[in-house]
Amino acid sequence: MNIFKILIFAVAILFIAGTASAQSLTPKEALGKAIFFDSNLSTPTGQSCASCHSPETGFTGPSSEINSTTVVYPGAIPTRFGNRKPPTAAYGGKSPIMYKKLKDNLFIGGMFWDGRATGWELGDPLAEQARGPFLNPVEQNNASKEVVINKIQNSDYATLFTQVYGHNAFDNIEMAYNQVADAVATYERSAEVNPFTSKFDYHLQGKVKLTKQEKNGEQIFNSSGKCANCHISKRHDKNTPPLFTDFSYDNLGMPKNPDNPFYTQLPEINPDGVNWIDKGLGGFLETVPQYSQYAAENYGKHKVPTLRNVDKRPYEGFVKSYGHNGFFKSLKDIVHFYNTRDVGMWPPPEVPMNVNTAELGNLGLSSENEDAIVAFLKTLSDGYMLPLARNSIADGSPTNFGLLQNTPNPFNPSTQIRYELPIAGYVTLKVYNTLGQEIATLVDGVQEAGFKSVLFDASNLPSGMYFARLVADGLTQTRKMLLLK
């Protein structure tokens, strides 16, 4: 098992353990989660949905090295690659069944960058998207639906599958395969995947204030930056906070990414070789007789992604890539591209027709304006820790349970880990490595309520990512710590 797959396995273990107390999953959500993280559901084994959609990065690509180089992730067969970066698996459940607006012929809804998971067959684009990777030869590479169902039937969650879908659920392969997709989509719609716990969400609830720069960025985002024209910043509906997408398709004039490994794939995977052009939605519409007449006017258009978790990363230096082909490696770069595409020294667009010139390309924003937008975008990452409230009573005990970020971080060789207990109880504070192995037990016993601090000395440990995990009163919190020697 290579280091990339080991890291994904470790993240999955820690995510499963660390979130169990945060959200109670329904049986169908729990089933979907088990399938999502099951690395046995590929041929050869070793790749799960989480291999390209990790919670640590907002359910998108989890490797800083890949994000900074090839961008496209390898499949179960490591020499095979698809043609685009993995989109986030979060906050997509509200995407409607694909339809064409009569007024302006714009297409709305569906899933995947090119919209090919339309929802026309199952009535659910998210479920149709979930069906794809298991049989895709450049992803999980299973030979048939029957292979996938047989693996699930022999898994340790097979009983849960029949509990959710009935004791004869495995009898009909086609129906069972669609139920697999339904379970995954149900998990991807769960509060665990879509928690709405960003600083922006707490700002909307009046629990925290944005900084002056963040507030300025929000104002520019909604006005002269024209970002909110497609990345809607208003509530989606009365029960759903802003999703920062309108589920439409757009050609941003994105340059071709020469590092995309799809160009060098064998002819059976990429028959066009280095001459391949990503037509996006238009390429899909070519295959739909009902809509093929609209293909040309949609060449180069790709799904407008949610901006939620756009900056979520496991540590400060972690590289994320942006755009359907990952051409950009920082938020600042892609915001600067939006601002100056038509007046700066940028490479030409991969698909020159249908480029959006009305809402980006020459916005006239200053560098300070761009920085403000970036600061605002960073408030959209889930997992924001609210400042811990303080009790007004004389003893000064905290009112909230919380594990604070260690300081310093990164650290060498020691760091202080602080946490707060609102009530007395049994407490454990342990440190794990990226393999999920316990490295140190810092606290294991009954403690009184109060503000606590403990020193973690890593003098004898190698550089790398470590995880501090606090468990008390049935609650669990995990923090990432980076040791740099």
pLDDT tens-digit readout, 424-442: 888 899 999 888 788 999 9
Mean pLDDT of the chain: 92
Provide the H-helix boundaries in 109-211.
125-135, 145-153, 158-165, 173-188, 199-204
Task: Give the span between the Cα atoms of 47 and 33, in whole angstroms.
Answer: 15
**Which pLDDT does position 388 carry in this prediction?**
52
Cβ burial 33-69 (10 Å sphere, 16+ → b, else e): bbbbbbbebbbeebbbbbbbbbbbbbbbbbbbebbee
Within this chain, domains 199-380 and 402-483 share the same CATH topology: no
pLDDT in tens, 29-54: 999 999 999 999 999 999 999 999 99
The confidence band for 19, taking pLDDT boundaries of 50, 70 and 90, is very low
The confidence band for 66, taking pLDDT boundaries of 50, 70 and 90, is very high
CATH superfamily, domain at 402-483: Macroglobulin (MG2) domain (2.60.40.1930)
pLDDT in tens, 333-381: 999 999 999 998 999 999 999 999 999 999 999 999 999 999 999 999 9
Has residue 11 got a pLDDT over 80?
no
Has residue 177 got a pLDDT over 80?
yes
For residue 270, give every residue at least 6 positions away whose Cβ sits within 8 Å of its Cβ, in sequence order, or none.
83, 262, 263, 276
**Which pLDDT does position 437 carry in this prediction?**
85
Count the helix, strand and coil residues of the chain and give each as a percent rounded to the nearest 5.
Answer: 30, 15, 55
**Which pLDDT does position 5 carry in this prediction?**
52
Within a 13 Å sphere around the CA of 275, how many CA atoms are in the beta-carbon half? Answer: 3
Task: Count the neighbouring beta carbons within 10 Å of the beta carbon of residue 438.
Answer: 10
pLDDT in tens, 279-305: 999 999 999 999 999 999 999 999 999
Q: Do residues 13 and 26 touch, judged by C-beta distance below 8 A?
A: no
**Which pLDDT does position 391 carry in this prediction?**
42
The confidence band for 21, taking pLDDT boundaries of 50, 70 and 90, is very low
Task: Give the span between the Cα atoms of 237 and 196, in whole angstroms.
Answer: 14
Task: Give the span between the Cα atoms of 390 and 395, in whole angstroms.
Answer: 10
Provide the H-helix boundaries in 253-330.
281-285
The model's pTM is 0.81
* 3-class DSSP state of 388: coil
pLDDT in tens, 310-323: 999 988 889 999 99
Mean pLDDT is lowest, of 66-70, 152-156, 232-236, 477-481, for 477-481
For the chain, the domains span: 3-94+114-188, 199-380, 402-483
The DSSP secondary-structure symbol of 398 reads: B
**Which pLDDT does position 115 carry in this prediction?**
98
Mean pLDDT over 184-202 rounds to 95
The confidence band for 1, taking pLDDT boundaries of 50, 70 and 90, is very low
Mean pLDDT is lowest, of 16-25, 109-118, 140-149, for 16-25
**Which pLDDT does position 17 carry in this prediction?**
45
Q: Does domain 3-94+114-188 have CATH number 1.20.120.1200?
A: no
Task: Give the span between the Cα atoms of 212 and 207, in whole angstroms.
Answer: 16
Distance in Å from the first CA to the final CA of the chain? 26
**Which pLDDT does position 4 carry in this prediction?**
53
**Which pLDDT does position 448 carry in this prediction?**
86
Contacts by residues 354-359 (CB-CB < 8 Å, ≥ 24 positions apart): 354/251, 354/282, 354/297, 354/298, 354/299, 354/300, 354/301, 355/251, 355/252, 355/253, 355/300, 356/250, 356/251, 356/252, 356/253, 359/226, 359/229, 359/230
**Which pLDDT does position 60 carry in this prediction?**
97
Mean pLDDT over 444-469 rounds to 91
Within a 13 Å sphere around the CA of 181, how many CA atoms are in the beta-carbon half? Answer: 23
* Torsion angle defined by CA atoms of residues 16, 17, 18 and 19, in that order, rounded to the nearest 10 degrees: 50
**Which pLDDT does position 397 carry in this prediction?**
65
Mean pLDDT over 240-266 rounds to 97
Class of domain 199-380: mainly alpha
Distance of CA 156 to the CA centre of its chain: 26
Mean pLDDT is lowest, of 80-84, 87-91, 195-199, 469-473, for 469-473
